[in-house]
Chain A
Amino acid sequence: MQVPASFDYRRATSVAEALELLRRYGEEARVVAGGHSLLPMMKLRLAGPELLVDINDLHELDHIELVGDELRVGALTRHRTLLESPLVGRYFPIVHDAEKVIADPPVRNRGTIGGSLCQADPSEDLSAVCGALHARVVIRGEGGERVVPMADFHQGPYETAVGVGEMLVQVRIPVLPGAGSAYEKVERKSGDWAVAAAGVALTLREGRIADAGVGLAAVGAGALNLDAVQELLNGGEPSEALYEEAALLASANCSPVTDGRGSAEYKRHLAGELTRRALRRSVARARTAQGTTGEA
């Protein structure tokens, strides 16, 4: 039987109370929502917090709303809610692509977007998705809130920009007209972590790619620098030749390691190939979106 080491447990009744507890316990406190990443790590003694701050009662953090030109998703929003949201599906098909292959239904009933991002596992899917979407995250602390771009959020494997006494409260995703996006993942079996995965989000302006975002999962620790791929795509005319070039660049700019899920070489190949496939689908979706919504 696997049981975590002893810890204290507090169920927060407000964000302010959660922050106060996180401040008081400092490095030794961890936020728990779904717990499906944290509790297994605690069982394996890879994590040993002295205090768990349960935020499951903080319903104000469980929301999906369109505010101006961005979608605001509360940190406590469950995977299942994201998957079942028509609003999310309409603007960000990449999120639904990913959610269908994140773990399995019972896990998706508990796990949250905030937990996924804060776990900062290099193989985690929503980090790649939010990276591709150029999302920003809202971090709240004693002094108020700060908004951090996804590119600066992950500072290494299992390390984020969330400091002591702070917590992630919201994810903000820009809604762009004429956008298309897609997520492609290869896994060994249903519900598994990715062998490799790629997400792409872009818009089409007068037939050319703009606002390109690319995110990769499971092919390197921490935030990957995919600026070169994005720069290549921006302004380009969609074509197989351009996708090929982008695929080669994505493949060259990742840093996979050989493990039980595959060799570094294979994962590097997947990073390119999945980027290519996600590009094809993103462009097709952007064209469909423009065809159906006109000037929108």
Chain B
Amino acid sequence: MRITVNVNGEDRTREVEPRHLLVRFLRDDLELTGTHWGCDTSNCGTCVVLMDGEPVKSCTVLAVMAAGHEIRTVEDLADGDRLDPVQQGFIEQHGLQCGFCTPGMMLTGRALLDRNPDPSDQEIREAISGQLCRCTGYLNIVRSIRWAAREEAAVAAPEATTPATATATTGSQA
């Protein structure tokens, strides 16, 4: 079947078999190998990508089911040389060792912060609970995502206002 999937903001058209999995479409057809492929049974979560902004396990989504939808992969996180705060957080807080789970972890972190800019540690832990990491014990991944949340809050706050004023004016008349 001929399908068009919007991947990282660009429409990509390919001829695929219905049984072709989204993870293979991304890695083999589009050569976006940042999306890793692990257990193939929707357990490990290394293949997580964002589908219409939400994390999904791409080993359990057919490419044909993604047609007409927006897929975002780890390749789209950085803006040129400028890393996404979540990526920077993984550097600052040593959020990875072998790096195998990292693309999925970072995309889940990104999706979480897009919905909830100030998550608690518990909320971060719940968000990544479908993804396995065998190196870090998760502690540094939680710290990395929290670092990104603080970084984004700091950047978003107007420089001239104190944090107290910024809070007081949030959600005012506008």
Question: Which residues from B are CB-within-8-Å of A56?
Answer: 65
Q: Which of A1, A106, A190 contacts B56 (CB 8 A)?
A: A106
Question: Which residues from B are CB-within-8-Å of A36?
Answer: 42, 57, 60
Let me know if A6 and B17 touch, CB within 8 A. yes
Total number of A-B contacts with CB less than 8 angstroms? 80
Given A9-B1, A109-B55: A40 and B129 within 8 A (CB)? no
B40 at the A interface (CB under 8 A): yes
- CB nearest to A105 among chain B residues: B130
- CB nearest to A190 among chain B residues: B129
Q: How close is B110's CB to chain A, nearest CB, in angstroms?
A: 13
Question: Which residues from A are CB-within-8-Å of B65?
Answer: 32, 35, 54, 56
Let me know if B57 and A106 touch, CB within 8 A. yes
Contact code string B13-28 (vs A, CB < 8 Å = 1, else 0): 0000111110010000
A250 at the B interface (CB under 8 A): no
Let me know if B18 and A106 touch, CB within 8 A. no
Given A35-B60, A35-B61: A105 and B129 within 8 A (CB)? yes
Question: Which residues from A are CB-within-8-Å of B62?
Answer: 9, 35, 39, 52
C-alpha spacing A7/B127, complex, angstroms: 34
Let me know if A40 and B19 touch, CB within 8 A. no
Let me know if B130 and A103 touch, CB within 8 A. yes
Q: A40-B42, A105-B108, A106-B48 are in contact. List 18 more A-B contacts (CB 8 A).
A: A1-B37, A3-B19, A3-B21, A7-B18, A7-B19, A11-B64, A35-B61, A35-B62, A35-B65, A36-B42, A36-B57, A39-B60, A43-B40, A56-B65, A105-B130, A106-B130, A107-B57, A109-B54
Residues on B lying within 8 angstroms of A by beta carbon are 1, 17-21, 24, 37, 40-42, 45, 48, 51, 54-57, 60-62, 64-65, 67, 108, 126-127, 129-131
Residues on A lying within 8 angstroms of B by beta carbon are 1-9, 11, 32, 35-36, 39-40, 42-43, 52, 54, 56, 80, 103-107, 109-110, 190-191
